[in-house]
């Protein structure tokens, strides 16, 4: 990627749904907000301990743009390409779909977006349902991120977060980064990004640890501690400022596109889901293609492990497999897959979940801290867990390129008269027929329908990791583990905390 092409701000959907939209809106919101945030399950925080933050004028649109340019020119910026040259129908769908996530009051004149996109002001394409917006302006997002030797991903990560936050509202976003003893220049780079993003009013907290794995007896205990550390500010902000968050986004050092994050958030809120995850892929050299990766954590709704296999063989549960292959959100017992969007309620209220290792003395199977938190969500009555197959994630650039192929112009080759799908039937796009099709795959109606959640399985396949030896992964024979009776009851999947987007 040449520096010259990086410097230019693309006029594509990335801009449409991201940067400029946010720049434009964000000018209009005061910082900090004067109204009190409401955690919608009824916990209205007291503002009595609120320290008044110093009122600083917001940076101008041009200043914001300069910051984004700085962030995106510091390294190759892979995720910038995701939404470039998207088919026009997808751009329109994205604008319609995610306008409900816009986290602040937009200007009254609706030609704002059209002019930014280069559309004519009366163009129906750019109509945003403004009536939705007022109820959503106070939804607060807590991003928890664990990094370790992540020099290469930090610029991309921040550029994406910057864009996403420009839609959700900078004042609604808090980013907590926990970095555990990297030995590259991760820390120095983080400080630069911290300063840059603060200058636009995004709150970022970066913590660094020098504790090493050696100080813990059990590998999972250590990993759970690392994850919990990213949540420390969540509890601190509640205790000191009375601030509650409505949605948590937990990320590893992975590179999502802007619309990937928005879709996970959208699905999480649409379904009032306890946990919402993407699908992650890793290259399999025997097969010569990417396969589903995180099968240590992922379990289908029958409790069976997902497979390290191509898309059509990932699920054993037939109905799930069928949904997955059509890119429809699918209920699972457990998943993590690089990014998980969590309902914070079980973190705030009894019975208080947190990342933990297995209670080995009680005979609990030594699963991943991410499997255990899924089990705990079930037991707490937040068993609405779902996987979003549309959102495909990669850990390296080889897989990233395979799962984000650019849209080919088939007009010249085979005489197709259009690019992409038809408005009345999104599945008519010939390029959507392959699993790793272009990123701008049109949304089908079924992808916008709420899932019908069923209670959890009685038994879940668990592959334990004792963590005593040198093995860098599961080292105990797998077992079918009996789940608590609670998680198989109908009320384990009722909506307890309404975070839905009003439509």
Ligand X SMILES: *[C@@H]1O[C@H](CO)[C@@H](O)[C@H](O)[C@H]1NC(C)=O
Residues found near ligand X in the complex (CB under 6 A): 146, 148, 180-181, 212-213, 226, 302-304, 316-317, 409, 411-412, 419, 457, 459, 480, 485
* Shortest spacing between CB 191 and ligand X, in angstroms: 19
The Cα–Cα gap between 295 and 284 comes to 14
Distance CA 56, CA 199 (A): 10
CA distance 9 to 16: 11
Residues 486 and 382: their CA atoms lie apart, in Å, by 11
Kindly state the helix (H) or strand (E) to which residue 162 belongs, with its residue range.
Answer: helix 154-168
Closer of 304 and 331 to ligand X (Cβ): 304
Closest approach of ligand X to the CB of residue 210, in Å: 8
CB closer to ligand X out of 137 and 304:
304
**Dist CA 237 CA 241 (whole Å):** 5
Cα gap 103→177, rounded to integer Å: 22
- Residue position matching structure tokens 């921040």: 158
- Looking at 199-295, list the stretches that DSSP marks H as alpha helix, in order from N- to C-terminal side: 219-241, 258-270
Q: Residue 317 or residue 499: which is nearer to ligand X going by CB?
A: 317
Q: How far is the CB of 180 from ligand X (least distance, A)?
A: 4
Smallest separation (angstroms) from ligand X to the CB of 476: 18
Name the residue nearer to ligand X (CB basis): 71 or 419.
419
Tell me how far, at minimum, the Cβ of 261 lies from ligand X, in Å.
Answer: 20
Contact 387, 283 (CB under 8 A): no
CB of 412 to ligand X, least distance (A): 4
Using CA atoms, how far apart are residues 227 and 224, in angstroms rounded to an integer?
A: 5
Is the separation of the CB atoms in 22 and 173 below 8 Å? no
Output the DSSP codes for 438-491.
Answer: -TTPPPPGGGGSPP---PPPSEEEE------SS-SS--S--EEEEPPGGGGSGG
- DSSP tag of 502: P
Nearer to ligand X, 219 or 270 (CB): 219
State whether residue 471 is helix, strand or coil.
coil
Q: Which is nearer to ligand X, 72 or 333 (CB)?
A: 333
Least CB distance from residue 74 to ligand X, whole Å?
Answer: 23
| Closer to ligand X by Cβ: residue 201 or 303 | 303
């Amino acid at each position: 990627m040449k520096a010259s092409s990086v410097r230019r701000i693309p006029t594509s959907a990335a801009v449409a749904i991201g940067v400029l939209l946010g720049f434009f809106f964000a000018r209009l919101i005061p910082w900090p907000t004067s109204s009190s945030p409401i955690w919608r399950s009824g916990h209205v925080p007291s503002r009595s301990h609120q320290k008044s933050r110093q009122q600083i004028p917001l940076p101008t649109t041009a200043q914001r743009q300069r910051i984004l340019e700085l962030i995106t020119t510091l390294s190759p910026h892979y995720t910038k390409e995701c939404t470039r040259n998207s088919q026009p129908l997808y751009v329109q769908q994205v604008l319609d779909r995610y306008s409900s996530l816009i986290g602040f009051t937009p200007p009254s004149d609706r030609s704002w977006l059209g002019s930014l996109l280069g559309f004519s002001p009366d163009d129906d394409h750019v109509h945003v349902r403004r009536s939705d917006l007022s109820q959503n302006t106070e939804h607060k997002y807590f991003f928890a991120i664990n990094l370790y030797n992540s020099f290469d991903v930090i610029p991309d990560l921040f550029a994406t977060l910057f864009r996403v936050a420009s839609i959700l509202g900078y004042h609604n976003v808090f980013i907590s980064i926990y970095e555990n003893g990297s030995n590259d220049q991760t820390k120095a780079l983080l400080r630069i990004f911290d300063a840059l993003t603060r200058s636009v009013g995004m709150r970022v907290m970066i913590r660094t640890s020098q504790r090493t794995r050696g100080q813990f007896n059990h590998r999972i205990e250590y990993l759970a501690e690392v994850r919990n550390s990213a949540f420390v500010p969540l509890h601190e902000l509640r205790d000191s400022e009375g601030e509650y968050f409505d949605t948590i986004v937990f990320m590893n050092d992975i590179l999502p596109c802007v619309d990937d994050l928005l879709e996970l958030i959208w699905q999480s809120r649409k379904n009032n889901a306890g946990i919402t995850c993407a699908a992650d892929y890793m290259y399999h050299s025997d097969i010569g293609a990417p396969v589903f990766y995180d099968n240590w954590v992922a379990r289908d709704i029958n409790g069976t492990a997902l497979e390290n296999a191509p898309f059509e063989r990932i699920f054993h549960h037939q109905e799930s497999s069928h949904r997955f292959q059509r890119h429809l959100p699918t209920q699972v017992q457990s998943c993590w897959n690089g990014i998980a969007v969590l309902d914070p309620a079980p973190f705030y209220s009894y019975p208080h979940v947190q990342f933990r290792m297995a209670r080995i003395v009680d005979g609990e199977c030594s699963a991943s801290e991410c499997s255990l938190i899924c089990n705990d969500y079930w037991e707490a009555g937040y068993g609405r867990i779902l996987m979003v197959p549309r959102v495909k994630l990669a850990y390296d650039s080889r897989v990233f390129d395979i799962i984000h192929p650019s849209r080919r112009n088939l007009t010249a080759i085979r005489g197709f008269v259009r690019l992409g799908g038809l408005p009345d039937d999104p599945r008519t796009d010939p390029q959507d027929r392959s699993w790793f099709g272009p990123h701008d795959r049109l949304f089908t109606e079924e992808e916008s329908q709420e899932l019908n959640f069923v209670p959890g399985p009685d038994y879940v396949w668990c592959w334990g990791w004792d963590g005593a030896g040198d093995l860098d992964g599961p080292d105990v024979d797998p077992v079918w583990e009996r789940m608590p009776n609670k998680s198989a009851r109908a009320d384990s999947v009722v909506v307890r905390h309404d975070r839905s987007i009003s439509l």
